[in-house]
């Protein structure tokens, strides 16, 4: 999967209408849409889309969308 596809899925999970405003270097916790529900949606996305479990310590270390992308590989 390319990072652009991951960004689309991330935007959908976090309910961001225009994924083109996001990039690999976007600090996702600084987004206006980011809250605890968005975090749970991203965790659910890993399970549903990738069949992976996003572990809390890894999630806490992630700062950018690219960091999250690397955890999905």
Q: Which two tokens stand for residue 13?
A: 């999970």
- Contact predicate 27/64, CB 8 Å: yes
In the prediction, which pLDDT does 7 show?
Answer: 98
pTM: 0.93
List average pLDDT for each run of 10 residues in the chain, which is 73 residues long: 96 96 98 96 95 94 98 93
First CA to last CA distance, the chain: 8
Q: What's the rounded Cα separation, in Å, for the pair 33 and 28?
A: 9
Cβ partners under 8 Å of residue 71, min gap 6: 46, 52, 54, 58, 59, 62
Q: What's the rounded Cα separation, in Å, for the pair 31 and 50?
A: 23
């Amino acid at each position: 999967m390319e990072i652009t596809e991951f960004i689309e899925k991330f935007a959908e999970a976090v309910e961001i209408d225009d994924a083109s405003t996001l990039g690999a270097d976007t600090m996702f916790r600084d987004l206006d849409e980011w809250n605890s529900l968005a975090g749970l949606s991203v965790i659910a996305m890993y399970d549903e889309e990738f069949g992976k479990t996003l572990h809390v310590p890894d999630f806490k270390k992630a700062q950018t969308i690219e960091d999250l992308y690397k955890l999905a590989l």
